[in-house]
A and B are shown apart, each in its own frame.
Chain A
Amino acid sequence: MAVADATPVRPRVSAFRQLARSTSVLIGGFIVAVMVTIAALAPWLGTRDPAEVNPSVRNKLPGYEATIRDDEGKKVPVSYRLGTDSLGRDIYSRVVYGARVSLIVGLTVSLISISIGLLIGLVAGYIRWLDGIIMRFMDGLMAIPAILLAIGLVSVFRAGIFAVVLAIVVPEVPRVVRLVRSIVLSIREEPYVESAITVGTPTPLLIFRHVLPNTVAPLIVQGTFICAAAILIEAILSFLGIGIPPEIPTWGNIMAEGRTLFRVFPHNILYPGLFLAVTVLGVNMLGDGLRDVLDPKMERRG
């Protein structure tokens, strides 16, 4: 495990300089920034209500123009840039709003997994008699393929965003625990930590002063990969029809809806698929670049 230099100030400056020079970070960061902007500005990007059903414009190809009556009964021209689905909902609006759900799920999952994993990892690294029990438990969790564990968990809870987040968090936690534990164990061996222990530094202070700062860089990298994985798994669950309830526009749900008429209207799958792929690509590239700069020794997990 990479251990940061004893002088924390100088490497940090050079790390930022390296970040600005890394192509992966720049491209990945740009893609993520664009997606965040789209998600944040969704209502102002020429979108309609993504849940609005309109039987008169069902299954239209991209670029379809129609005049529909608004709430006050006035006729307004509407352009369906990316076509409509079988309920007459505007694909463009649904895809744009879908960015919100994906990013929120990605961010929440990585924050929760990192927090829980950090806590358990610290406990495993410090309380020696608990270490064996915790790690065997984590090995067991990691022996269940992530998607299957998530599928099993969503089957138990009633459908909803929180259930999906929880179902994705559980398989990710053991990986964070392992990472944190290995950092704790390697840092305990460091001479400056051993001397700190010898002079009687209390454990909480030791953790805050010496252990936590060393976990920041690897956890940022790990968090980025978790975010990408979470966006992907959420889309897979929704696509399979067992994720977020179908009335909420998510990329996976739009694709699930588009499956039946895929041969005639491939756009219902291809556009959300494109957004999903580009987003995951961006987050992964950001993670790759961050790892190369912040934590060169860390292996990418499979």
Chain B
Amino acid sequence: MSAYILRRLLAAIPVMAIVAVLVFLMLRLTPSDPAAIIAGDFANDQQIAEIRSKLGLDQPILTQFLIWIGNMFQGDFGESFFYKKQVAQLIVERVEPTISLSLLAIVLTVSIAVPLGTLAAYKQGSWIDRFVMGFSVIGFSVPVFVVGYLLIYLLAVKLDWFPVQGYQYLSDGFAGWLHRLILPSLTLSIVFVALIARMTRTSVLEVLHEDYIRTARAKGQSELKVLVRHALANAAVPILTVIGLTFATLIGGVVVTESVYTLPGLGLLTVDAVLARDYPTIQAVILLFSLAYVLVNLLVDVAYTLFDPRIRY
């Protein structure tokens, strides 16, 4: 087991190395001169040359790459062009809203989607089943920001239950934090509720026809126990897979949701950085999110063994 985890961790290293190369090259191999873009349309040649040497852009590309990677290993992601502070510090400041939003969205998703999908499978063909199937198609297609503005319009503007925008840090009180996060998390979770409810339904349906379910029922176990202990436990692996695979979509959703609700997290930082062509920040955020994506999928792989003892490595 621990040998397996170690092997998977080692396998993630070359992937991250390639991500680092790609993120580095993205900026350097473009047709346009990054120094000129950073300097803006009104800069003269001398200003551009200054920026170029300040960024080390006048050195050979391999040297640049090695310096960049070496600095990152020391936690130095460079200085933001726009905010004029260390990117590492900027990320630390902005990380709380993003983590809060993602975690709450995942909690919401799982607590809505798994019961819904299980119920749909249990009552296959009923109105709830058809609702889940219909919802899963629609939920997958309606863009996050459209969902966001619909919810804002109904629950914040019309009914005035929630604030329209903004974030409150957890240190300023749990109630306020939660109150401001419910709407964004709900927005972000809709698409995943759609996906995971559908996946849960399919997996539970497959399992429900197995012999051991019949055995469990025959020995007089309650229906709830049959569903949770036997059906759902066996459906956990495919559900987990979907959570891992959709984590990239979650990250995309975070960027959009933070923008809609002006939550000062990493997503909003990314958009602001792109608008300001703040390359050190863009590079660092993309690397960080990719690392999170790779690690989550690693965790999902490892979690398989916990949920399904048949899987052995």
CB distance from B148 to the nearest CB of A (A): 9
In the complex, the answer to whether B137 meets A155 with C-beta atoms within 8 Å is: no
Residue A151, interface by CB 8 Å? yes
- Produce 1/0 per residue, A127-163, CB < 8 A to B: 0000000001101110111111101111111100000
Across the interface, which residues of B come within 8 angstroms of A241, CB to CB?
Answer: 271, 275
Residue A276, interface by CB 8 Å? yes
- Produce 1/0 per residue, B159-194, CB < 8 A to A: 000001000000000000000000000000000000
B-side interface residues, number (CB < 8 Å): 58
> Which A residues form the contact surface with B (CB < 8 A)?
136-137, 139-141, 143-149, 151-158, 228, 232, 235-236, 239-242, 255, 262-263, 266, 269-270, 273-274, 276-277, 280-281, 284-285, 288, 301-302
In the complex, the answer to whether A143 meets B290 with C-beta atoms within 8 Å is: yes
Across the interface, which residues of B come within 8 angstroms of A228, CB to CB?
Answer: 141
Across the interface, which residues of B come within 8 angstroms of A141, CB to CB?
Answer: 18, 22
Across the interface, which residues of A come within 8 angstroms of B103, CB to CB?
Answer: none
| A/B interface sample: 14 pairs, CB < 8 A | A139-B18, A144-B293, A145-B247, A145-B248, A148-B252, A156-B26, A158-B37, A240-B259, A240-B274, A241-B271, A242-B274, A273-B146, A284-B137, A302-B245
Prevailing SS type, chain B contact patch: helix
In the complex, the answer to whether B146 meets A276 with C-beta atoms within 8 Å is: yes
In the complex, the answer to whether B141 meets A284 with C-beta atoms within 8 Å is: yes
Q: Nearest 6 pairs between A and B by C-beta?
A: A140-B18, A302-B245, A147-B252, A273-B146, A281-B141, A145-B248
CB distance from B155 to the nearest CB of A (A): 13
In the complex, the answer to whether B255 meets A277 with C-beta atoms within 8 Å is: no
CB distance from A227 to the nearest CB of B (A): 12
Query: Considering only CB atoms, which chain A residue lies closest to B252 in the complex?
Result: A147
Across the interface, which residues of B come within 8 angstroms of A240, CB to CB?
Answer: 255-256, 259, 271, 274
In the complex, the answer to whether B271 meets A151 with C-beta atoms within 8 Å is: yes
Q: What separation, in Å, do the CA atoms of A228 and B141 have in the docked complex?
A: 8
Given A136-B18, A155-B277, A262:B149 Cβ within 8 A = yes
The residue that A145 contacts in the complex, of B14, B37, B242, B293, with Cβ under 8 A, is B293
Q: What separation, in Å, do the CA atoms of A143 and B164 have in the docked complex?
A: 34
Given A141-B22, A144-B22, A235:B143 Cβ within 8 A = yes
Across the interface, which residues of B come within 8 angstroms of A152, CB to CB?
Answer: 23, 26, 274, 282-283, 286
CB distance from B257 to the nearest CB of A (A): 11
In the complex, the answer to whether B255 meets A144 with C-beta atoms within 8 Å is: no
B:33-54 near A, CB below 8 Å:
34, 37
Across the interface, which residues of A come within 8 angstroms of B37, CB to CB?
Answer: 156, 158
In the complex, the answer to whether A273 meets B145 with C-beta atoms within 8 Å is: yes
Query: Considering only CB atoms, which chain A residue lies closest to B283 in the complex?
Result: A152
- Produce 1/0 per residue, B260-286, CB < 8 A to A: 000000000011011101010011011
CB distance from A112 to the nearest CB of B (A): 17
Interface centre among B256, B274, B294 (most CB of A within 10 A): B274
In the complex, the answer to whether B14 meets A148 with C-beta atoms within 8 Å is: no
Across the interface, which residues of B come within 8 angstroms of A280, CB to CB?
Answer: 141-143
CB distance from B191 to the nearest CB of A (A): 10
Residue B138, interface by CB 8 Å? yes
Q: What separation, in Å, do the CA atoms of A153 and B27 have in the docked complex?
A: 8
In the complex, the answer to whether A143 meets B271 with C-beta atoms within 8 Å is: no
Across the interface, which residues of B come within 8 angstroms of A143, CB to CB?
Answer: 15-16, 18-19, 290, 293-294
Query: Considering only CB atoms, which chain B residue lies closest to A264 in the complex?
Result: B157
Across the interface, which residues of A come within 8 angstroms of B137, CB to CB?
Answer: 281, 284-285, 288
The residue that A144 contacts in the complex, of B150, B247, B290, with Cβ under 8 A, is B290
Residue B251, interface by CB 8 Å? yes
Q: What separation, in Å, do the CA atoms of A270 and B145 have in the docked complex?
A: 10
Query: Considering only CB atoms, which chain B residue lies closest to A274 in the complex?
Result: B146
Query: Considering only CB atoms, which chain B residue lies closest to A154 in the complex?
Result: B274
Query: Considering only CB atoms, which chain A residue lies closest to B253 in the complex?
Result: A147
CB distance from A102 to the nearest CB of B (A): 12
In the complex, the answer to whether A302 meets B143 with C-beta atoms within 8 Å is: no
CB distance from B149 to the nearest CB of A (A): 5
Q: What separation, in Å, do the CA atoms of A19 and B247 have in the docked complex?
A: 33
Given A140-B18, A263-B164, A242:B271 Cβ within 8 A = yes
Across the interface, which residues of A come within 8 angstroms of B252, CB to CB?
Answer: 145-148, 236
CB distance from A62 to the nearest CB of B (A): 15
Across the interface, which residues of A come within 8 angstroms of B100, CB to CB?
Answer: none
Q: What separation, in Å, do the CA atoms of A144 and B248 have in the docked complex?
A: 8
Q: What separation, in Å, do the CA atoms of A232 and B191 have in the docked complex?
A: 13
In the complex, the answer to whether B290 meets A148 with C-beta atoms within 8 Å is: yes
In the complex, the answer to whether A144 meets B142 with C-beta atoms within 8 Å is: no
Across the interface, which residues of A come within 8 angstroms of B282, CB to CB?
Answer: 151-152, 155
In the complex, the answer to whether A239 meets B256 with C-beta atoms within 8 Å is: yes
Q: What separation, in Å, do the CA atoms of A288 and B137 have in the docked complex?
A: 10
The residue that B274 contacts in the complex, of A144, A146, A151, with Cβ under 8 A, is A151
In the complex, the answer to whether A156 meets B30 with C-beta atoms within 8 Å is: yes
In the complex, the answer to whether A144 meets B19 with C-beta atoms within 8 Å is: yes
In the complex, the answer to whether A273 meets B15 with C-beta atoms within 8 Å is: no
- Excluding A145-B293, A148-B289, A302-B249, 8 further A-B contacts by CB distance (< 8 Å) are A145-B289, A155-B279, A156-B30, A228-B141, A239-B259, A266-B153, A273-B145, A281-B142
